[in-house]
Amino acid sequence: MVSAYQVEAAVKMKDQDSVDVYLGSAYSKGFFGWAAPAGDLTRIGNAGFGMSRELFLNIFKKFLDPSKLSINGGLIPIHALDRTYGERSVLVGDAGGIVKPLTGGGIYTGMLSGELAAEALNMAYEKENFSSSSLSVYQAMWKKAIGKELSRDLKIQKLYSKITDTSLNAMENLLSDPNILRKISNAGDIDFPSKVVIGILIKKPSLIKHIFFPVKEPS
């Protein structure tokens, strides 16, 4: 589970066509912060493990004391349950932990698992069998569709959460290569991010040491 907190604020970003992402221990523990334009509003928030009010304020104070129109927060499961079906029941989206581990996003996974749940329930209805065994096909369906991607993303997230600020800064310099930025822009897929991550590591193997052997912070 990651803790998430977000404010909708009456402020516009300098660039209304881009999302700002904040990395590092000043903003999050093992995840990230964001500021996303939403018309005349901006959604400002962050998420992570063992978060504090101070970490959120580090992002919020970047803006000139905007009026808070709404505040929401909660826990986001980033690890799918071992079992997402039962007697006369199936769990979709966040309820089953079917969420993108790298971003905490759940719209695509929620819609996909919901569609597959409907198919599984329709088959159960035709057989007049809503037992746990009958509905187990639902889990097999979503795992076939996106299970491998979610598993890869979770492994990447666990590695990312251990990267130090020093290594993040070094990685930023390596990723500033125009060829790498072009690859991210052309091949990036928000729903299947592991594809671009693996591709970048192949083109820039020097990133690997910072992922698997992050530089320790100076004491």
Residues 140 and 190 in one domain: no
Q: Could you tell me if residue 182 is inside a domain?
A: yes
- As a whole number, the mean pLDDT across the chain is 89
Residues 65 and 113 in one domain: no
Q: Could you tell me if residue 153 is inside a domain?
A: no
Residues 138 and 98 in one domain: yes
Residues 123 and 172 in one domain: no
Residues 6+ apart with CB under 8 A from 9: 41, 42, 43, 44, 63, 66, 67, 68, 69
Q: Could you tell me if residue 51 is inside a domain?
A: yes
Residues 134 and 109 in one domain: yes
Cα-Cα-Cα-Cα torsion 164, 165, 167, 170, nearest 10 degrees, comes to 170
Q: Give the chain as a 3 state SS string.
A: CEEEEEEEECCCCCCCCCCEEECCCCCCCCCEEEEEEECCEEEEEEEECCCCHHHHHHHHCCCCCCCEEEEEEEEECCCCCCCCEECCEECCHHHHCCCCCCCCCCHHHHHHHHHHHHHHHHHHHHHCCCCHHHHHHHHHHHHHHHHHHHHHHHHHHHHHCCCCHHHHHHHHHHHCCHHHHHHHHHHCCCCCCHHHHHHHHHHCCCHHHHHHCCCCCCC
Find the CATH number of the domain harbouring 7. Answer: 3.30.9.10
Contact 5, 56 (CB under 8 A): yes
Q: At 68, is the pLDDT very low, low, confident or very high (cuts 50, 70, 90)?
A: confident
From 58-67, 102-111, 140-149, the region with the lowest mean pLDDT: 58-67
Encoded tokens for 206: 């020097």
Q: How far apart are CA 21 and CA 45, in angstroms?
A: 10
pLDDT for the residue 64: 58
End position of a domain, from candidates 76, 108, 130: 76
Residues 125 and 90 in one domain: yes
Q: Provide the number of structural domains found in the chain.
A: 3
The model's pLDDT over 112-143, given as tens digits with 9 standing for 90+, comes to 999 999 999 999 999 999 999 999 999 999 99
Residues 178 and 204 in one domain: yes
Is the confidence at residue 2, as pLDDT, over 80? yes
End position of a domain, from candidates 42, 76, 110: 76
Residues 23 and 62 in one domain: yes
Q: Percentage of the chain surpassing pLDDT 90?
A: 57
- How far separated are the first and last CA of the chain, in Å rounded? 29
Structural domain span for residue 29:
2-76
Mean pLDDT of 134-160: 95
Residues 6 and 66 in one domain: yes
Residues 111 and 171 in one domain: no
Is the confidence at residue 111, as pLDDT, over 90? yes
Which of residues 197 and 77 earns the better pLDDT score? 77
Mean pLDDT of 193-214: 81
pLDDT for the residue 4: 94
The model's pLDDT over 171-192, given as tens digits with 9 standing for 90+, comes to 888 888 887 777 777 766 677 8
Q: Could you tell me if residue 54 is inside a domain?
A: yes
Q: Could you tell me if residue 72 is inside a domain?
A: yes
Which of residues 154 and 213 earns the better pLDDT score? 154
Q: Could you tell me if residue 155 is inside a domain?
A: no
The model's pLDDT over 26-65, given as tens digits with 9 standing for 90+, comes to 999 999 999 999 888 899 999 999 888 888 888 877 775 6
Which of residues 102 and 181 earns the better pLDDT score? 102
Which of 100, 10, 96, 4 is closest to 50 using CA atoms?
4
Mean pLDDT of 194-213: 81
End position of a domain, from candidates 34, 57, 76: 76
Q: How far apart are CA 76 and CA 207, in angstroms?
A: 28
